[in-house]
Amino acid sequence: MSVFCCLTSWLCLAAAAALVATVLSKYKRSPEQVGNQVVCLALGLWAAVCLASLSLFWGFTLFCLSCFLMYTYLSEQVWLPVGQKAVLVTGSDCGFGHEICKHLDKMGFTVFAGVLNEQGSGAEELRRNCSSRLSVLQMDVTDPEQVKDAHSKVTEKVKDKGLWAVINNAGIIGFPADGELIPMNEYKKCMAVNFFGAVHVTKTFLPLLRKSKGRLVNISSMGAGVPMERLSCYSSAKAALTMFSSVMRQELSKWGVKVAIIQPGGFQTKIMGTSDAWEKHEKNIMEQLPGEVLEDYGEDYILTMKNFLINIQTLASPDFSPLILDVQHALCAKHPSAFYSPGKMVFLWLCVASILPTSLSDYIWKKHSGSPGHMPRALSLPNRNKAM
């Protein structure tokens, strides 16, 4: 090996070592940096290998890219102190909101838990198991008076400090069925809770967020980006929430308010409802359908819709920790991400839906999710199939 190559190799190693030392000295005081030193070292060594083994141009190019990736990654890991920050969480009776409230309370946040029923079991459990910093607020997000009253109580308590974050979590899924079968009142109800409710809460509390230069975190869904059969009502409302959040992210940046969108996959929450509620939805669908539509689909097909809910619950994860940690990052990171996708393979499916040709992504999703076990009555008739 020539003297020039040896000298170049040593210079590369020295540069990589200097990079690692610089980055570590900057981030060593951050409290949540477990494992970051290993990441720094690995990236630094990778940069050194690139510089030593490739041509000077490509080696330097990859070295710069490694520096950029390392800086980007570590910037997202710098955490702000909790201090006396206050957070409002909607839909805290059960599910995501309930667990988020308990986790944030343990971290030391002042938590305002908005609930649909302040006398319900979920609200009582929060009062019983959380600290005195947590306050339960009666807050139906579709009721303007309740939202206004909650704002007054929050403002009175936070005073001049402002509100650090609003987490719009309240949501309903309704009864999953083919889009043609879902009654219009169900579409309106889903939009009222999942979209208009979140918009109203956001507009009401934004002055407090602007004062603190805080965070707006909206819980959307994987369904907002991945078309899934029988979820047209729910997914449409969540897609509207995602776009609203994206626009607000741009508009609020000048105020120093950061907006994060959480798009979770399947988790075992109580959003699916109960078997009694399913039967009520089935009856409502069959009573409101025009005779021709009911004849084409058939009652047997409609009665199989509940199997979809059962399958979702079976495949859903009981472990909420991926979502909880993403919410924590959105609230506490100095540079939070714009999008989070907690859940098994959620990020992959969102990429498939947005990047691949539509026909291919639809085919992959159908193969993965499995075809429905039953077909509408009209499509099951031999004569009808031949005619088509």
Ranking 114-118, 154-158, 352-356 by mean pLDDT, the lowest is: 352-356
More confident site: 74 or 302:
302
CA terminus-to-terminus distance, the chain: 74
Question: How much is the pLDDT for 24?
Answer: 47
CA atoms within 13 A on the CB side of 66: 25
What does the block give as tokens for 306?
Answer: 């509940």
Q: What is the pTM of this model?
A: 0.80
What does the block give as tokens for 386?
Answer: 């031949």
Residue 318 has pLDDT above 60, yes or no: yes
Angstrom distance (rounded) from CA 301 to CA 304:
5
Residue 372 zone, left/alpha/beta (φ > 0; ψ -120 to 50; rest): beta
Angstrom distance (rounded) from CA 337 to CA 297:
44
Active-site annotation holds for 187: no
Question: How much is the pLDDT for 106?
Answer: 97
More confident site: 333 or 40:
333
Confirm if 98 and 115 have CB atoms less than 8 A apart: no
pLDDT digits (tens, 9 = 90+) for 275-311: 777 888 888 888 889 999 999 999 888 888 877 777 7
CA atoms within 13 A on the CB side of 110: 13
Q: Rounded to whole angstroms, what are the CA distances from 173 to 270, 277, 306?
A: 10, 12, 13
Question: How much is the pLDDT for 224?
Answer: 95
At the top level of CATH, the class of 86-369 is alpha beta
Angstrom distance (rounded) from CA 137 to CA 112:
7
SS3 285: helix
Question: How much is the pLDDT for 60?
Answer: 59
pLDDT digits (tens, 9 = 90+) for 215-257: 999 999 999 999 988 999 999 999 999 999 999 999 999 999 9
Average the pLDDT over 157-166 and give the result.
Answer: 91
Residue 32 has pLDDT above 70, yes or no: no
Partnered with residue 260 across adjacent β-strands are 217
Question: Quick one: how far is CA 182 from the chain centroid?
Answer: 25
Ranking 57-61, 286-290, 314-318, 326-330 by mean pLDDT, the lowest is: 57-61
Which of 27, 187, 234, 297 is flagged as catalytic? 234
SS3 218: strand
* DSSP strand pairing (215-219 vs 165-168): parallel
Average the pLDDT over 4-23 and give the result.
Answer: 54
Ranking 4-8, 92-96, 129-133, 158-162 by mean pLDDT, the lowest is: 4-8
More confident site: 95 or 22:
95
Instruction: Sketch the domain layout of the chain as residue ranges.
Output: 3-28+35-75, 86-369
Confirm if 246 and 337 have CB atoms less than 8 A apart: no
Confirm if 140 and 146 have CB atoms less than 8 A apart: yes
More confident site: 160 or 103:
103
Residue 97 has pLDDT above 80, yes or no: yes
pLDDT digits (tens, 9 = 90+) for 169-220: 999 998 889 999 999 999 999 999 999 999 999 999 999 999 999 999 999 9
Which is nearest to 245 in space by CA: 195, 205, 210? 195
Angstrom distance (rounded) from CA 13 to CA 331:
38
Question: How much is the pLDDT for 71?
Answer: 56
Partnered with residue 97 across adjacent β-strands are none
